[in-house]
Amino acid sequence: MIEITINLNGKKISDRIEADTLLIDFLRSHNCLSVKRGCETTNCGLCTVLMDDTPILSCSMLAARAAGHTVYTLEGLQEEASSFVGFIADQGADQCGFCNPGFVMNTIALLRENPDPTDDEIRAFLAGNLCRCSGYEGQLRGIRNYLNSLKEQ
């Protein structure tokens, strides 16, 4: 067992883990249930979290490697997410909603890096987030409407 401390959603969390505990399991065992398990092989983006402000896939990150780093899940970024998630919902882009936390986390990363992206830049940045229900256009329209609303303010 390894003793690790992670700064999770603004709080220091210490725990004992196995050498192969994945970050997704560490996070879910600490009540971050927004972090979803999908493909487990880095293909779907469901497990996206921010580590040191960078979007990563927690299904393929060892918890041991995250020791000493800062990790944010959707539970810790509710306010930032609330500014745009309503626009996505208005487009009916969430059907089963399973992909939503991963999409939202990666959209947060996109907008922090590039606050005024073009549609192609949005598509490119979100290409690693798969949705099996919608056709991606709803998410795109939602983000576009949010960005337009900022310009109108």
Q: Which does 46 bind (CB under 5 to 8 A by kind): ligand FES, other proteins, ligand FAD, none?
A: ligand FES
Site size with ligand FES, rule: CB under 6 A: 22
What is residue 83's three-state secondary structure?
A: helix
Residues 6+ apart with CB under 8 A from 7: 13, 69, 70, 71
Q: Is 139 in the site for other proteins (CB under 8 A)?
A: no
Q: Is 65 in the site for ligand FAD (CB under 6 A)?
A: no
Cβ of residue 126: shortest distance to other proteins, in angstroms? 8
Left if phi > 0, otherwise alpha if psi is -120 to 50, otherwise beta: which for 19?
alpha
Q: Is 43 in the site for ligand FAD (CB under 6 A)?
A: yes
Reading the block at residue 133, the tokens are 């229900």
Q: Is 74 in the site for other proteins (CB under 8 A)?
A: no
